[in-house]
Structure 1
Amino acid sequence: MSYAIIGFGNIGQALAKAFARKGIEVSVATTRDPESFASAAAAIGPTIIPKKLAEAVKADIVFLAVRFESHEDVAKALPSWKNKTVVDVTNAYGVPPEQLQGQPSSRAVAQAFTGGKLVKGFNHLGAAVLAQEPTVHGGRRVVFLASDDDGAAAQIGALAENLGFSPIKLGGLSEGGLLVQARGNSWGQLIFKDLVKFD
């Protein structure tokens, strides 16, 4: 299984740190030349591999850690996203609900990634929290996942566990997705909730 993070701002780097802690190789890409962020990637760890966008999107699982407004540009990097799982880490804060045609922001993202399986996840925590070691006080930090594809949700749930988090599935995009999305000037009810699960 191959992994990529598209976007290497605060959230992208926080995700990269989660992969680096477990020694899991992950490609990182932006619309810029890989050399421009190679030193930042190297500072995180040797398993963080800077690549061009066209190369990175070949991964099986792609984390979308860009500004919401940029998701369509990333989607155009491939003619079809068939057999790929896209993890939507975006937040559409400030995007008018009418621009989303009243639907959850993650559904708008899913429509752009033709043929792909979309999971909303890892977006409810601030970058500083997401970057921390997820083992807290003997428990594990929670990440919420929502998807209309049970298989994709299970796949990302297993990856989240592998990264040290405790995944909680919220159901489909129209129900669970609304709890972890931002749009207009409102935040979903679970955004910024830093929860720890004890087994």
Structure 2
Amino acid sequence: MDEHQDRFGAEPVLRELHIPASAYYRWRRTGHEPCERHRRDAELTERIREIHTDSGGIYGSPRVHAVLKREGTATGHKRIERLMREAGLHGISPRPHDKAFTRRDPAATLAPDLVDRNFTAPAPNRLWDTDLTMITTDEGPLWLSTIRDAFSRRMVAWETSARADADLVLSSLEYALASREVEPGQLVHHADHGCQYTSIKLTTR
């Protein structure tokens, strides 16, 4: 059909073959649309992965959709759900009564527990316990990394970020070390087994 169209134009050929012009042009469109749709889905999936990673792996389709909408990307909830499902991406919601939240890396090498649930200390700067907490805001989650002195029960340092990553917890630790005089070998820095705390960045430090 296309080679005859190039020579005579579409309309005469369609009349000769008794094919409605509307049917022909609809067929031409459907021949190109799937490729364009797949290309757009691939681009959208890549951006969804970035948003999901930036959220610390907790964003589900509603929050991903909200981020895309703020960025000016017009797409439906169902499409986001489908693309996340096909990419194996899932959101995780912390319990309403417990917003402290970290995810364990099953491949990580864990440090020994030097505290054994005894969160007391004989003097300042002997035991610090740290935690990562999610704070819900209109712009999405804000992550709060805190370090507390077990002796005084006062906050040594805190830092916030839109990303729940190793850089956030390392930044709060660096701030704490800079603000206190810590004797080598005297301080225990206690955390849970979340992937942020068992990361190479933090364990090396």
Q: Above 0.5 in TM-score?
A: no
Normalised TM-score (structure 2): 0.25
Larger radius of gyration: 2
> Which structure's residues are more often helix, by fraction?
2
> Which structure's residues are more often strand, by fraction?
1
